[in-house]
A and B are shown apart, each in its own frame.
Chain A
Amino acid sequence: MKRILLTTCAALALATAPAVAQQKTVKIGFVSTFSGPVAAIGNDMRNSFELALDHLGRKLGGLPVEVIYEDDQIKPEVGVQKVQKLIESDKVDFIVGIIWSNVLLASLKPIIDSKTFTIVTNAGASQLAGEMCSPYVFSTAWNNDQTPQAIGLYMNQKNVKTAFLIGPNYAAGKDMLEGVEATFKGKIVGRELTVWPTQLDFSAELSKARNAKPDAVFAFYPGGAGIQFITQYAQSGLKSTIPLYTAFTVDSLSLPRLKDLAVGIPGAQQWVRDLPNEANKRYVNDFRAKYKTDPSFYGSQTYDAAPLLDSVVKAVKGDLTKKDEMRRAAEKADFKSVRGNFKFGPNHIPIQNFYLQEAVKDGEEFRLKTVATIVENDQDKHWQKCKMPK
């Protein structure tokens, strides 16, 4: 009898679960990763988004905001379920976030089918820039291969003749390695893909790299995996013999842990904490004041999503059913981005500069610093494949 009671209770709880629809609020579903070795990324994105909402007075286009945070656990099948729940059960107006290319690719169908207005703030799967572009999906990040392409150019400048490439075996990992191959003029002497996200021990692959005797190694390992890779790279004695070039591996989240190990490892990025513009100074200073640490590029991209949405909601005066007007408003990119100039390409991917960054020791603290501009106003190479409806 007690069991039956419990079951009834459970059924009741399920029936009352959907929240009562509230009038006149902007509902945002925020999908990111809050568990596992990359949880720091999700937290940084959440913190930046919250800070941006604070800066906007917790309102978008004059309407109060409600944000529902969901954890995708780095798994595409979990991510797509969370996205479906946000769309069908919570009935959100916007989806923001998404770190991983494979989570994005899995979630795109429900997003596009339901015409849910979405701002992707990290995942840069090439398909999004190309054949799977959608009128209601925008990115405040980049396309995966742009950053490694910049690194490939830099490796040419440094006169690197042979390179060994290594990255995780998922959508972004493959895009990254192809990015380097697209611009690097030397010879690729090895190319390894490791199991993602479970494999964090790279012993066999590092031995392979040593044996291939390349001029340089290129690696892409986001989040905690980057810490493990660089630690093991140093530990195997490779750091002193073969220079390491990276994309999305050394960032301000991993730097406090890597410390000296990260110094002298170049990486490319579209945003660095010391970019000289007013919006960025406010962002970095307030972030440091509130969270006692530096924001990362993940955060900067997510910060940008809030003022972008603000401009969109303003343009339709809070009527979030006018999807086409919202789209036109978003395409104008009428907001102050923390990376200075910001404009969208025809496929809703930003056209932007890429900088060379390096870790330096600043007193007791380690910081990332802009060293040079590698490319200006870079546009991804997939935009012609995008057949965006007018």
Chain B
Amino acid sequence: MLYLIEQCLNGMQLGMLLFLLAAGLTLIFGIMDLVNLAHGSLYMLGAYFAATFVELTDSFLAGIGLGLGATLVAGIVLEMIAIRPLYGRDHLDHVLGTFGLLIFFNEFVRLIWGPAGLTISLPSQMLTAVQVLPGVYYPLYRLVIILTTLVVALLLYILVMRTRIGMLIRAGASNREMVGALGVNIKLLYTLVFGLGAALAGFAGMIQAPLAFVQIGMGENILILAFVVIIIGGIGSIRGAFVAAIIVGLIDTMGRVFLPDLVRHFLSYSAGSSAGPALSSMLIYTLMALVLIFRPEGLFPASSK
């Protein structure tokens, strides 16, 4: 039981990370109707910026702060130069154009930072596990990730639900033409939303970096998972993204934990060890396919509210 709680926390942590990526992706998708494959590149850029600034300032927090600012600027510049001409085009053009951007960013990072990749070292006080419940020890840093992201999610909720900008964002997600017709500066709104999405993606990249590794292409696999999240959650819905991210995080982790043992009952030990992780990765896609077959608009469709 205690073990199960620990694994649930692991699932939550992955889910929170996915949420940070998916939130921006779903807003951009829902409001600008843009499929952005380069979203993972912003995740990568965030991690590279943070790694650089942590190295320069010798402070973890200052590095994260500066990195966040840099990613926001990068996102806004990217939107103004390369993304704007893509609005109003069909999805195929988006896929192709942003695929080109993805290739570009991978090479750009290689040019600036070299091919080897970087690491971010955690402050030494983060290198411990804390007792969250009697008998349940959990790595402090992972706990910090979960809590910080929950705060970010809350702020995002307030921004979207309680502010004027949020009202426009919501209106844009359900009826784009109408918002334009009301005389809102659509261009500016789009740029802001894209910048916000970029900053969220960059933030995800930089908080995950100390656990994983800052490297070229680090955003590609997780980007696909984030797409799965927004499809399951319903395009344009922050709430949907939040719920779906946690579902996907939990399923992935639980699959990794229990499936290998389960498969070993039926197959040999080594076959189970290989098939287990593969099957658990498949679970998520199976879930998405099922959701699409039975609820083609996702769990929380934004437009039908």
Contact = CB atoms under 8 A, between A and B. Distances in A.
Is the pairing of A and B real?
yes
Interface of A: 34-37, 39-40, 43, 71, 169, 174, 191-195, 198, 200-201, 203-205, 207-208, 210-211, 224-225, 227-228, 231-232, 234-237, 257, 261
Of A198, A205, A235, A261, most B-chain CB atoms within 10 Å: A235
B117 A224 contact: yes
Interface in B188-231: 208, 210-213, 215-217, 221
B81 interface: no
Nearest to B255: A204
Interface residues of B, number: 41
A210 B46 CA distance: 32
A194 B278 CA distance: 10
A236 B213 contact: no
B106 to A, nearest CB: 10
Q: At the interface, is chain A mostly helix, strand, loop or mixed?
A: helix
Contact of A201 (B110, B137, B212): B212
B122 A235 contact: yes
A39 B211 contact: no
A347 B158 CA distance: 68
30 contacts: A35-B115, A36-B116, A36-B217, A40-B116, A169-B274, A192-B260, A192-B273, A194-B277, A195-B277, A198-B221, A201-B14, A203-B142, A204-B7, A204-B10, A204-B256, A207-B3, A207-B10, A207-B257, A208-B257, A210-B6, A211-B3, A224-B119, A224-B213, A225-B213, A228-B212, A231-B122, A235-B129, A235-B139, A236-B139, A237-B128
Contacts of B49: none
B7 A36 contact: no
Top 3 A-B pairs, shortest CB-CB distance: A237-B129, A35-B115, A39-B116
Contacts, number: 98
A232 B139 contact: yes
A234 B127 contact: yes
B126 interface: yes
Contacts of B281: 195
A207 B142 CA distance: 13
Contacts of B210: 231
Given A37-B215, A194-B277, A204-B257, 5 more contacts: A39-B117, A201-B14, A203-B253, A232-B211, A236-B139
A201 to B, nearest CB: 5
B269 interface: yes
Given A35-B115, A43-B116, A204-B10, A191 B128 contact: no
B250 to A, nearest CB: 11
B141 interface: yes
A257 B119 contact: yes
Nearest to A198: B221
A201 B208 CA distance: 9
A234 B253 CA distance: 21
Given A169-B274, A194-B277, A235-B128, A200 B213 contact: yes
B52 interface: no
Given A201-B211, A234-B127, A235-B141, A191 B116 contact: no
A169 B13 contact: no
Q: Which of A37, A227, A261 has the most CB of B within 10 A?
A: A37
A186 to B, nearest CB: 17
Most chain B beta carbons < 10 A, residue from A227, A232, A261: A232
Interface in B1-39: 3, 6-7, 10, 13-14
Contacts of A225: 213
B185 interface: no
B253 to A, nearest CB: 5
A200 B212 contact: yes
Contacts of A71: 115
A191 B271 CA distance: 12
Contacts of A40: 116
Query: Which of B6, B116, B257, B270 has the most chain A CB atoms closer than 10 A to its own CB?
Result: B116
A193 B139 contact: no
A195 B222 CA distance: 14
